[in-house]
Amino acid sequence: MARQAKHFDRRFTLSLLHPRYWGSWLAIAVLFIFGILPARVRDPISRLLAKLVMRIAKKPIQVARINIQTCFPEKSADEVESLIKANVDMFVLALLSQAELLIRSNEHIKRRVTIAGYEHVQAARDAGQPIIFIMPHVWPIDYAGIRLNLALPMVTMAKAHRNGLFNWFSNRLRSSQKGRVYMREAGIRALISELRQDNSFFYLPDEDLGPEQSVFAPLLGTEKATLPVVGRLAQAGKARVIPVKIGYDTEKYQFNLTLMPAVDEQDMVGKDNEAIALNKMVEQVIIAYPEQYMWFLKFLKTRPNGQSELY
């Protein structure tokens, strides 16, 4: 019997009403209230709440500080702290805005997320090719995914939450445009199968998956262990690889989504070349909008031989 790829069940079940989830339901209700509010009202509130996060999120902020200092050794202490503050502001803003992707209209989402460079997507679609969008972990990544899913068929892959209700909520949101959300356990075979069915997806190349099968390549002011698998995925699925970046315009209350030209296939030949190419794409996104990146992640856990651990 063929192996069945695992994907999240987005259906509501009565088990989600269990008393252990009542606190989580309250949190989701708060998110829905913020999702209804206009951005011009919600954004100032998010900046006020970010000040509270700065006071209590000591461990994540220390991780962010280590990451920024490692990636930008030329930054002064004041510049590092300024970037951390801007990053926390964006984290809270993206979190409080998230529910609007589920409860507001598609026309509202289109107004909230502008698209530049869609001609690169159109060229691939005209050629009958699906797309592997390359984007590292950024706070507004769900905005990018949902907005593109309005224009073309998409699937995604996500790590399960420990909280069953939050797991249902986040994957219901990500599949709101009928895109399927796979568990990580589904593996590469599931993604190749989806590409062959003309479904596109996001690939996040900046996660640290350990030394096994990873290759070290330059990333800003350091080196990072990178898994070179995108080239094989693109080849197997006959897909184009398109880097994506997204940033928030605080004056227009809009997310600006930019689709860059497709990557030359020759740049992805060989594991070392692919790792270099992927990290260059990550650099492009971080440099364009450094405050949007998830600096809280321990994406530099694996270090080259002879270098001490960072965290």
pLDDT in tens, 256-302: 999 999 998 888 888 999 999 999 999 999 999 999 999 999 999 99
Report pLDDT for 5: 52
HEC secondary structure over the chain: CCCCCCECCCCCCHHHHCHHHHHHHHHHHHHHHHHHCCHHHHHHHHHHHHHHHHHHCHHHHHHHHHHHHHHCCCCCHHHHHHHHHHHHHHHHHHHHHCCHHHHCCHHHHHHHEEEECHHHHHHHHHCCCCEEEECCCECCHHHHHHHHHCCCCEEEEECCCCCHHHHHHHHHHHCCCCCCEEEHHHHHHHHHHHHHCCCEEEECCCCCCCCCCCEEEEECCEEEEECCCHHHHHHHHCCEEEEEEEEEECCCCEEEEEECCCCCHHHHCCHHHHHHHHHHHHHHHHHHCHHHECCCCCCCCCCCCCCCCCC
Which pLDDT does position 73 carry in this prediction?
A: 96
The pLDDT tens digits of the residues spanning 137-158 come to 999 999 999 999 999 998 887 7
Confidence of residue 2 (pLDDT cuts 50, 70, 90): very low
| pLDDT tens per residue, range 191-242 | 888 899 999 999 999 989 888 889 999 999 999 999 999 999 999 999 999 9
